[in-house]
Structure 1
Amino acid sequence: MRLLVLGGTAFLGRHVVDAALARGHEVATFTRGRSGTSPPPTLDLRGDRDDPPSLAAALDGAGWRPEVVVDTSCQSRAAAEQAAWTLGGGGGVRAYAFTSSLNACAAWPPGPVTRDDAPGWTTDDDAYGPTKAAAERTLTAAVDGPVLLARAGLITGPYDPLGRLGWWLRRLARGGPVVVPTGLDQPVALVDARDLADWLVRGVEEGWSGPVNATAPVGSTTLGSLLLLCAEVVGRRVGDDVAFVPVPDEELLAAGVEAWTQLPLWVPAETARTLWDVATDRAQETGLVRRSVRETVTDTWAWLSGPDRPSPADQATPGLPEDLEGRLLADRVGGVR
């Protein structure tokens, strides 16, 4: 089939391209061209998702029309409306997979999300969750064929530009005392971008429709188990050349540590109790998660250690600043790094 990837050169999109090519599809990507080009034989189309005529112009200029679409880059109401106007109605699209977010659910965060079709936001503001929910409605109404709404949670793996998992790997590789939250037993659910990409392609092949909570089942790992695995993968031994230094939530918050961003994957216990409680029945039935957490962590570290690794400055999530970590450690281990 002729498969159009909206996005396709940065993170999830590049894995969708790989999955689609591996499954024998004729692939085109539509991007701004800021993250490189798609590999041959992909048709590389350029334009701006927020510029209404640009997608139609790119497709018309190439004389190419998609049969199915995987949308990984819709971040605005204008982008959804452009896709709906160009690909909906009589556009001939047989199936559409949209990478939405659990944030589209009005109850998340903090959750729980007890079913796949949990109600979405209906507000008109441009916050991330309401924007994703609006895009779900716009695309579902416009496209003639089935529309799969992949409400993704924590997406990880090679080429992740946000670097949440990557920050922990780099920090543990440095060794020494490391600030961690006391709630290391909190559950964490993640999905490898390569698994999600293959699943999205299978979704448009088979004509799946409706919302699906696209993440791993609750209890698949914990924050503590994930950090121990990260230490092992980077060749550090906890208790020997790296030491976890637990800091209570209230002290982290009092010191100004930003949950989820400055201490990646951590949220205060009150939120963590429900944040990861997400029903994943359809995701499990359709075989979303294929790789183990170990494989995801190992492959992410291999990418971060390889020739095309990003610099920390290129990633949006800074992690815990060294001076702030030093202050948190000072009363516990004398500020030794």
Structure 2
Amino acid sequence: MKLLVLGGTEFVGRAVVEEALSRGAEVTVFHRGRHKAPPGVTALLGDRTAPGGLTGLSEGTWDLVIDTWSAAPSAVGATARLLKGRIGRYAYVSSRSVYPQPVPSTLDETGPVIEASPEAEDVGYPEAKRGGELAVVETFGEDSLLLRCGLVLGPGENVGRLPWWLRRIARAGRVPAPGPRDLGVQYIDARDLAGWTLDAAEAGLTGPYNISSPVGHCTMGDILDACVEVTGSDADLCWVGPDTIAAAGIQPWTDLPLWLPPGELHETMHRGNVAKAVSAGLRCRPVRDTVADTWAWLQRLGGPAPQRADRPRLGLDPAMERALLSRAALTSQ
């Protein structure tokens, strides 16, 4: 396979590149040069947001392009039009955010999607992803593969969700663990996403697919217990209920990464319908492997983990953590 990855130097894009190289593919990455390209690829430089920024893609043919773009849909459209006739299939890494919120757990890929424009410039994340989908389909039609991902974790994560929990638990002490302990968490390891995408492209699959682990794959307890185990920490996980967390003014998802209390938002993020992708061969590695490999990657870094500039830093402020633990102790008396 001749593969073109738009991006390819960080997290999901890099996972795709590494998986493709392991399969013997000939890989080209097109990126802005802010991060070093993986070894073994042909690197083309360019900025999709700048005038003339696509010049590096004006020549060449590939069997498949995989695009991880999350900003202006107009950039996706411009790229797709430039590559038309020189690409066999266009795979776009989208998001389950394209569905109107909240999303019922029964909703599959045939459900309604939000309004968006393929020519939009400055829009929010859901509109950017839906606009990107429209831009790809407008040019490539039935040769489009749309990957509507949920939460993505694994080595290389540059949003700071699982890395925050690992580093906090590694510091040991009493750690507030948002419950219930058996509350389900749905995610996809970036490496499983990469492997399935390449398999799907080789099999000629097209259209939209919701991509995440099946419901029941793991719980909040599974993740945090694995964090304790792989870090070798003697941290004391103090399970705290949703009501206590809310009363303390602590925000789900941002102050406590990965976690959403039971309700509509939890159903939207952690109970998505992924039956179509599973029936098409999606397999998810055990949660412990994702946690252990992410910790090993953090250890190799030896410094701060990469952080996307367009995403806020996540995690619980130490003062708020102490207040939450105190509140939890009082409510348990």
Q: TM-score, normalised by structure 1?
A: 0.88
Determine the C-alpha separation between the residues in 2 that align with 1:13 and 1:309. 22
User: Structure 1 residues 52, 137: CA separation in 2 closer, same or farther (over 3 Å shift)?
Assistant: farther
Q: 1:331 to 1:281 in 2, by over 3 A?
A: closer
Corresponding residue number in structure 1 for 2:20: 20
Match of 1:7 in 2: 7
The answer for the alignment partner of 2:143 in structure 1 is 146
Deviation at 1:2, TM superposition (A): 2.1
| Distance across 2 between alignment mates of 1:243 and 1:214 | 33
Task: Determine the structure 1 residue equivalent to 2:295.
Answer: 301
2: CA distance between counterparts of 1:116 and 1:53?
36
Identity %: 39
**What is the deviation of 1:185?**
2.0
The residue type paired with residue 189 of structure 1 is Q
Contact 1:69 1:204 (8 Å CA) reproduced: no
2:186/2:269 contact within 8 Å kept: no
Listed one character per residue, the Cα deviations across residues 216-254 of structure 1 (whole Å, up to 9, x for unaligned) are 101111112221122112123xxxx32222333244234
How much does 1:290 deviate? Answer: 4.1
Q: Which residue of 2 aligns with 1:280?
A: 274
The structure-2 alpha-carbon separation of the partners of 1:121 and 1:321, relative to structure 1 and needing over 3 Å to count, comes to: same
* Bigger mean CA deviation after superposition, 93-102 or 178-187: 178-187
How many equivalent residue pairs?
A: 322
1:98 is aligned to 92
- Aligned mates of 1:242, 1:153 — CA distance in 2: 29
Asked if 1:311 is matched to 2:304, the reply is yes
1:261 aligned onto 2:254: yes
Residue 207 of structure 1, CA deviation = 1.9
1:177 Cα deviation from its structure 2 partner: 0.8
Q: Is the 8 A contact 2:70 2:125 kept in 1?
A: no
Contact 1:70 1:204 in 2 (8 A): no
CA contact (8 A) 1:11 1:159 kept: yes
Change (3 A) 1:313 1:208: closer
Gap runs ≥5 in structure 1: none
Secondary structure of residue in 1 paired with 2:82: helix
Helix, strand or coil: the match of 1:259?
coil
Task: Check conservation: 1:68, 1:95, Cα contact below 8 A.
Answer: yes
Is this contact kept in 2: 1:94–1:144, CA < 8 A? no
- Cα 1:54/1:207, change in 2 over 3 Å: farther
What is the one-letter code of the residue matched to 1:37? A
Deviates more, 1:208-217 or 1:285-294: 285-294
Structure 1 position 245 matched with structure 2 position 230:
no
Tell me which of 61, 68, 72 is aligned to 2:64.
Answer: 68
Matched, 1:54 2:53: yes
Q: Which runs of 5+ in 2 are unaligned?
A: none
Q: Name 1:231's counterpart in structure 2.
A: 228
Amino acid at match of 2:5: V
The change in CA–CA distance for 1:301 and 1:4 in structure 2 (over 3 A counts) is same
Shift of 1:10: 0.8
SS in 2 for 1:216: coil
RMSD: 2.2
Deviation of 1:145 (Å) = 5.4
CA drift at 1:269: 1.9
